[in-house]
Chains A and B, each alone.
Chain A
Amino acid sequence: MKNLVKLLVGAGVLAAASSVASAATLDDVKSRGTLRCGVNTGLAGFASPNNQGQWTGFDVDLCRAVAAAVLGDPDKVNYTPTNATERFTALQSGEIDLLARNTTWTLSRDTKLGFNFAGVNYYDGQGFMINAKNLEGITSALQLSGASVCVQGGTTTELNLADYFRANNMEYNPVVFQALEEVNAAYESGRCDVYTTDQSGLYSIRLQLAAPDDHVVLPEIISKEPLGPAVRQGDDQWLDIVKWTLNAMIIAEELGITQANVEEMANTSTNPEVRRILGKEEGSTLGADLGLPNDWVVNIIKGVGNYGEVFERNIGSGSPLKIARGLNALWSKGGIMYAPPIR
């Protein structure tokens, strides 16, 4: 119900507010002093409140990086938890400045929904998870004909699921909820045989189940899910800021600039590329051209670390999820993470 009210309010604001997409999000954020960031409602590793009530996670760190770049302080973020349905109205209505919530970049979201994606911070794909204890002998998604499948409504997941079963001439019973915790509860209680979502999500959800070891993620990946931050159309400056914040984090990893050494590198490095990125190049206006202070990258890396650090800390080897870098390794290390140059 609460969700429904939120949705209605979102739609209402869209209808009534006379200046929803005030073009200059940057000015709004600066004068407000905080960044309003839409995250998911609690997907451990990506965005969830810790025991002190602070939001942490891979997507949260992107919000923090943008706040560090714009406001010089990664803590100046206001988080709005959104489920799959609320996220889009929240962004459209101007309730949030940035949506960093494992959202797949698709054409229709780019066009019909009026968004712009600022890049990809996680290359993912959709997978299936089953309770292997109850369903012995099932090792492939192609054996799932007749199964009940738990899925969150309003996602690309729901659409891929329909396509996959249709393409393979299989039947299934969809069990659709709007809220993540309801999908989790239904899967846990045995209401469905299969849980499907982005693989990264499956790993995170599996850890929250009562007996994670009973559950296996099947090998099939049935879709491309490039997850990335989204902003409203019509504000190119803001789009650029988010886009280059993400790029800067990737480039910092390439150059070995880390949270621990960024100050030192800024002061002592003689590498022209490092000096340029960290705002030490003589007469450079790279930061100012974005509308940011010249040391914006220093602030980002000091605040959250480079892309690799953020990955490992939240979802990689330094976290309970232990997700391998895989596709998300740098292009120079066998992955496809690649950022255009800052110059």
Chain B
Amino acid sequence: MATDSTHLPGPAATSRSSALNNPQVRSIIAQVVLVVLLALFIWWIVGNTTDNLRRQNIASGFGFLDARAGFDVAQSLIPYGSNSLYRQAFLVGLLNTLLVAVTGIITASIIGFLVGVGRLSRNWLIRQICMVYVEVFRNIPPLLVIFFIYLGVLSALPGARDSLEVGIPLGIQTPFGLIGWDDTIGFNAWLNNRGFFIPRPVFNEGSWLILAGLIAGLVMSVLVYRWARARQMATGEQFPVLRTSILLILGLPLLAYFLAGMPVDVDVPVKGNFNLTGGVQVKPEFLSLYLALSLYTASFIAEIVRAGILGVSRGQTEAAYALGVRAGPTLRLIIIPQAMRIIIPPLTSQYLNLTKNSSLAVAIGYPDLVQIGQTAMNQSGQAIEVVAIWMVVYLTISLTTSVFMNWFNNRMSLVER
């Protein structure tokens, strides 16, 4: 044995060549090198940046977040004024981003599902309308849709003095004269080039009873649903759950309203010096961004829904029909739940897209995180910090959405037994 080693090449040489040939070792080495390079690169960037900033005497650090912002913001979900801090200004921007993202996602999902199902409808006209919708919105850049709604539609509305009242006309003007009454049932809602003005409920003392009624209605609806389900499982008898729930959820708060002595007033928009005042003003910047993102994203969601439904084997439908299940329940109870598994992953991307596209807000002056960040960047002079805040916030929103949708996806997959 001892003599062998003298004939063979040195053991060191053997092990070196074999270690390098070992793919596992090689990949570890490659990864270590990569991490080191990345660390060096980051170190270089950070060093360079601080160096450059120092040499140019540009302020750095996040201390400015605690300074007075000094500028006002057009739309805010929390109390904000020019005396607020930069930190609060960023929060206002973040909430505005989330507002348009969440409302946009809800609306886009609803429209997308309807249009997606509509594209598979047996009705020729519905199918065509849905197809045109998808092809139009899918093929226009979202920025153009935003501009179209902002400049083409909302800017073209009359000024504050000639606001259009939103209501139900009681008659129509025809070439043969007026049919019906020359009157409208107004909702005290108005539309002009400053936005959409709607009455605002003012909850006075005693209003808690209404909230209590609403909660009671919701809780009872859930109980009724459970009970009805259990009963159906046991006896096969059905119970009109939906109708009962609606009655409970609307009826109980209404009852509470009267019992509490009608404690709710309405603050109606009225004409002021420059504009309508009072009520709630939905600004055209929000409206156009919200509508554009919803309509645009809905066209993609529609295609995803269509693909999802088509992805469920035809046999499922046939089996359902063979068992005598009608078309509606077949879609609702058999096809859609299975289609969901195909739909959710691409749907997640669309939700993320919508959220990121919301930064197109700058183009029309909607005060989202980016627009407020730009102002803050200029007033504080701290460009790098602001860009860092943007990146971290969008990353966090996106990752949170992904995590939630993955959870939802897993839950939906479990439905399959």
Contact at B272–A146, with CB atoms within 8 Å?
yes
Chain B 36-74: CB-based contact to A (< 8 A → 1; otherwise 0): 000000000100110011011111000000000011111
CA distance A121 to B194 in the complex (A): 38
B-chain residues with CB within 8 Å of residue A11 when the two chains form the complex? 383-384, 387
Segment touching A, from B209-217, B250-258, B335-343, B372-380: B372-380
Assembly CA distance A93 to B50 (angstroms)? 13
- Chain B residues closer than 8 Å to A4, beta-carbon distance: 359, 362, 370, 374
A254 on the interface (CB 8 Å rule)?
A: no
B277 within 8 A of A: yes
Nearest B residue to A91, CB-CB: B56
Say yes or no: A88-B378 contact (C-beta < 8 A), given A146-B274, A176-B367, A193-B274.
yes
| Shortest CB distance B72–A (Å) | 5
A-B pair number, CB within 8 angstroms: 163
132-184 of chain A: CB within 8 A of chain B? 134-135, 144-148, 153-155, 158-159, 161-163, 166, 172-178, 182
The answer to whether B57 touches A173, judged by C-beta atoms less than 8 angstroms apart, is: no
Do residues B375 and A191 form an inter-chain contact, with CB atoms below 8 A? no
User: Are A114 and B57 in contact (CB-based, < 8 A)?
Assistant: yes
Of all chain A residues, the one with the shortest Cβ separation from B73 is: A174
Contact with A along B283-324 (1 / 0, CB 8 A): 011000000000000000000000000000000000000000
In the complex, whether B99 has a CB less than 8 A from a CB of chain A is no
Query: A21 interface residue, CB < 8 Å from B?
Result: yes
Contact between A174 and B383, CB atoms less than 8 A apart: no
Q: Are A21 and B378 within 8 A (Cβ)?
A: no
A158 to B383, CA, bound (A): 18
Q: Given A148-B275, A177-B365, A190-B193, is A16 in contact with B45 using a C-beta cutoff of 8 Å?
A: yes
Q: Judge whether A191 and B53 touch: CB under 8 Å.
A: no
Residue of B nearest to A153 (CB): B375
| Interchain CB contact under 8 A, B378 and A153 | yes
Q: Does A234 contact B (CB under 8 A)?
A: yes
Contact status B377-A8, CB under 8 Å: no
Chain B residue at minimum C-beta to C-beta distance from A23: B55
Contact assessment for A190 and B159 in the assembled complex, using a CB-CB cutoff below 8 Å: yes
Tell me if A21 and B55 are in contact (CB < 8 A).
yes
CB within 8 Å for A191 and B274 given contacts A15-B384, A16-B45, A114-B57:
no
Q: Is A336's CB within 8 Å of the partner chain B?
A: no
Q: B48 is contacted by which of A18, A108, A135 (Cβ under 8 Å)? A: A18
Chain B residues with Cβ below 8 Å from A25 are: none
Q: In the complex, which residue of chain A has the Cβ closest to the Cβ of B388?
A: A11
| A232 CB contacts on chain B under 8 angstroms | 56
Contact between A185 and B151 (Cβ–Cβ < 8 Å)?
yes
- Given contact pairs A14-B52, A108-B381, A191-B284, A162 touches B72 in the complex (Cβ within 8 A): yes
Q: What range describes how many residues of B lie at the interface?
A: 35 or more
Q: Which residue of B lies closest to A3 (CB)?
A: B362
The docked-state distance in angstroms from the alpha carbon of A296 to that of B292 is 56
Distance in angstroms from B43 CB to nearest chain A CB is 13
Does B71 lie within 8 Å of A14, measured CB to CB? no
When distances are taken between beta carbons in the complex, the residues of chain B under 8 Å from A14 are 49, 52-53, 58, 383-384
A159 touching B379 by the CB < 8 A rule? yes
Bound form: Cα–Cα A3–B152 in Å: 22
Say whether A114 contacts B58, CB under 8 Å.
Answer: yes
Nearest A-chain residue to B281, judged by Cβ: A173
Contacts of A193 in B (CB 8 A): 274-275
Contact B193 A189 (CB under 8 A): yes
Contact with B along A260-287 (1 / 0, CB 8 A): 0000000000000000000000000000
B350 close to A (CB within 8 Å): no
- Contact A85 B48, CB 8 Å, known A233-B57, A234-B55, A234-B56: no
Task: Decide if A20 is an interface residue (CB 8 Å cutoff).
Answer: yes
A306 interface residue per 8 A CB criterion = no
Say yes or no for B27: interface residue by CB 8 A criterion: no
Q: Do residues A15 and B70 form an inter-chain contact, with CB atoms below 8 A? A: no
**Pairwise interchain contact A113-B277, C-beta atoms closer than 8 A:** no
Whether B82 lies near A163 (C-beta < 8 A) is yes
Partner of A148, one of B57, B274, B363, B367: B274
- The reply on A89 being an interface residue by CB < 8 A is yes
**Does A210 reach chain B (CB closer than 8 Å)?**
no
A1 lies within 8 A of chain B by Cβ? yes
Closest Cβ of chain B to A95, distance in Å, is: 13
* Minimum Cβ distance to chain B for residue A262 (Å): 37
> B275 contacts which chain A residues (CB < 8 A)?
146-148, 173, 193
B220 CB–A CB distance under 8 Å: no
The reply on A92 being an interface residue by CB < 8 A is yes
- Scoring A residues 10 to 36 as 1 if CB is less than 8 Å from chain B, else 0, what string do you get? 110011111011000000000000000
Residue of A nearest to B71 (CB): A158
Q: What separation, in Å, do the CA atoms of A148 and B159 have in the docked complex?
A: 12
Q: Are B70 and A113 in contact (CB under 8 A)?
A: no
* Chain B contacts for A322, CB-based, 8 A: none
A63-117: which residues lie under 8 A (CB-CB) from chain B?
A: 84-85, 88-89, 92, 108-109, 111-114
Binding site for B on A (CB under 8 A): 1, 3-4, 7-8, 10-11, 14-18, 20-21, 84-85, 88-89, 92, 108-109, 111-114, 134-135, 144-148, 153-155, 158-159, 161-163, 166, 172-178, 182, 185-186, 189-191, 193, 232-234
Q: List 9 contacting pairs A-B, 8 Å CB cutoff, sorted by A.
A: A16-B48, A85-B374, A111-B57, A159-B71, A161-B72, A174-B73, A176-B365, A176-B371, A182-B364
Q: Which residues of B contact A (CB under 8 A)?
A: 45, 48-49, 52-53, 55-59, 70-74, 81-83, 143, 151, 155, 159, 193-194, 272-275, 277, 284-285, 359-360, 362-365, 367, 370-371, 374-375, 377-384, 387
Going nearest first, the 8 A-B pairs with the smallest beta carbon separation are A154-B378, A162-B82, A113-B381, A114-B58, A112-B59, A114-B56, A177-B365, A15-B49
Q: A10-B383, A89-B377, A233-B56 are in contact. List 11 more A-B contacts (CB 8 A).
A: A11-B384, A14-B53, A14-B58, A14-B383, A15-B49, A16-B45, A112-B380, A114-B57, A114-B381, A147-B275, A154-B374
